[in-house]
Structure 1
Amino acid sequence: MAVRQPQQDRSRATRQRLLESAIEALAELGWAGSTVAVVAERAGVSRGAAQHHFPTREDLFAAAVGFVGDARRLWTREHSIDLPTGPERTRAVVDLIVRLYTGPLFRAALHMWVAATSDPQLRESVVTLEAHLGRETHKLALELLGADESTPGVREIVQATLDMARGLGLANLLTDDSKRRAGIIDRWAEILDTALRTGVKA
């Protein structure tokens, strides 16, 4: 005999599917194509059920902002566990950061950025989230690189790494930029590794 899932658990699972589907829709269809009806269909629920959780499109995507942030944090932490030690580590860390900014989660975030330029309420949520994520990602990069931020110039070169990764993410939006990107990652990793080992000149 099948055990019925408690109502609270079913409700939580439905909400989770809606948020996941909202991110997928944003990454694939952009803001204009990511309607409540589209998200509900992808989540396998009725539009009425979707609106029970999120009465308006704005409610749905305001919640999706936080969900994207949590997903990006989780992805980064999970993928940083198996990074190599030794001479290959800097290259692996740079590659990890670049993959964060070239993957579907960042693509979804970019669509929210664009939408936020004309939506003050969404902009407030997105700006707050991105500022927090930026600080967290910077701190994690320092940790993974074993870099001391009190050393002059370290903060700036690590931030430059994050800015470069973001730029590569933008370049990857329209075409597959993976071949050119690999060479850039190799060269930047060499520069970063040398700078961290020998001291960064401010």
Structure 2
Amino acid sequence: MEEPGLRRKQLRSVATRDRLIRSALDEIFEVGYHAATTQGIALRASVSRGALLHHFPNRADIVIAAMEALLDDGTRQIKAVTNELQSGSASLADFVEFLWRLFSGRFFYLSLEMITESRNDPELRLRMIPVVRRFHEALDEIWTQFCAGSERTPQQARLILNLTVCLMRGMGVQTVLRPEPGYYREMVDAWKALLPHLIDGAPGDILFTGETSPQT
């Protein structure tokens, strides 16, 4: 039987690890990837640098753990909003608005910091690829469930929703150097008007067959 003292120690260790990961995300978001230090992360988490090194022996370890936590959080949020959409408590327009907030805010900027850094760090990139792959596999599953009631195949559903994500993410990149809310609002509203037709209408038929529907 597990001793209560050992159990408490394990719980404290898990709590410390989670606090360090959350502090790493805060540090990277506030000062940027290159300025973020393990010392700064430890200070934010109110732990010693030795405690940090016990959980994460090098900087890459905590960066990967932070990316995993970030993408897990994003997956849960997307899944929750998709469930609301399927239950009728949220509209397709609400879903697009949610994705725009997600990919133009903290979640997006943190992922952008780490993904950009991995471009010139082969070791970090190799470790990050499977983390990002799991995120996209989870999204593919969500997208398939999302369009379960439509005439679209799972592959078509994934294409439609991944087009949506890529649009939002691309606009998110632009916000760094083009802070013009009206510019993005026009495109978000245009996509909200188009998306239902891609899922259930003739524009979607054209997208997947290259042919228009017969004229009546």
What is the TM-score when the length of structure 2 is the normalising length? 0.79
Structure 2 counterpart of 1:150, one-letter code: T
Count of residue pairs the alignment pairs up = 199
Question: Could you list the runs of 4 or more consecutive aligned residues of structure 1 that deviate by over 6 angstroms after TM superposition?
Answer: none
Q: Larger C-alpha radius of gyration, 1 or 2?
A: 2
Aligned match of 1:165 in 163, 168, 171? 168
Q: Does residue 7 in structure 1 map to residue 9 in structure 2?
A: yes
Structure-1 residue corresponding to 2:23:
21
Identify which range, 130-139 or 9-18, moves more after superposition: 130-139
Q: Which residue of 1 aligns with 2:50?
A: 48
Deviation at 1:168, TM superposition (A): 1.8
Which residue pairs with 2:194 in the alignment? 191
1:5-44 alpha-carbon deviations (Å, 9 max, x no partner): 8111111101000001111222222111111011111111
Asked if 1 retains the 8 angstrom alpha-carbon contact of 2:72 and 2:135, the reply is no
1:33-182 alignment to 2 at 5 Å? 33-83=35-85, 85=88, 89-145=91-147, 146-150=149-153, 154-174=157-177, 176-182=179-185
- 3-state SS, counterpart of residue 120 of structure 2: coil
Offset at 1:183?
A: 2.5
Q: In 1, distance between residues paired with 2:79 and 2:38? A: 31
1:102 positional shift = 1.9
Query: Using CA pairs below 8 Å that are at least 6 residues apart, which structure has the higher relative contact order?
Result: 1
Question: What letter is aligned with 1:112?
Answer: M
Letter in 2 for 1:31: Y
Gaps of 5+ in 2: 209-216
Structure 1 spans left out of the alignment, 5+ residues:
none
Q: When the two structures are superposed, what TM-score results if normalisation uses the length of structure 1?
A: 0.84
Question: Deviation per CA, 1:91-128, whole angstroms, max 9, x where unpaired?
Answer: 11212222222231221111111111122121012222
